[in-house]
Amino acid sequence: MARMIHSMIRVRDEAASIAFYDTAFGLKVADRLVFDSFTLIYLSNAEQTFELELTVNHDRARPYDLGDGYGHLAVSVADVDAEHARLAAAGLSPLAVKDMACGARFVGRFFFITDPDGYRIEVLQRGAPGRFV
């Protein structure tokens, strides 16, 4: 059986991205590989083995076009309201917390935040019904 190990996004400003993911989600640099034309930075924390890979293309000066195919990354947290307040206090501008329901079935609470390159991250209340663990 296959196991997911990482997801990769392209970023322009290595320092800004590392600072964002550290402040927002406690992700630290686990490894950094510098090649001639690009750098790979693997971010992780003690909560899981899944990593976020940041790819920095050395010759990239303009923002990436995220297109209409990218959706979002998702993380779960123990207290979505406290996390929202912490991120707002850190100046990271999270969107409003929302409740999600499918008909009469409550699914969970969540909000979105955007990284320096425009990638959206969904922050979900851990332990809610459904798939949010």
Which residues are identified as catalytic? 122
Contact 100, 107 (CB under 8 A): yes
CB atoms near residue 124 (< 10 Å) = 22
**Tokens 């959206």 appear where?**
120
DSSP run (H or E) holding 106? strand 105-114
Q: What distances in angstroms separate CA 107 from CA 27, 28, 63, 78, 80, one per listed residue?
A: 27, 30, 35, 15, 14
Instruction: Take residue 107 and report the two structure tokens written for it.
Output: 């699914």
The amino acid occupying position 120 is: R
Three-point CA angle 110, 121, 36, nearest 5°: 165
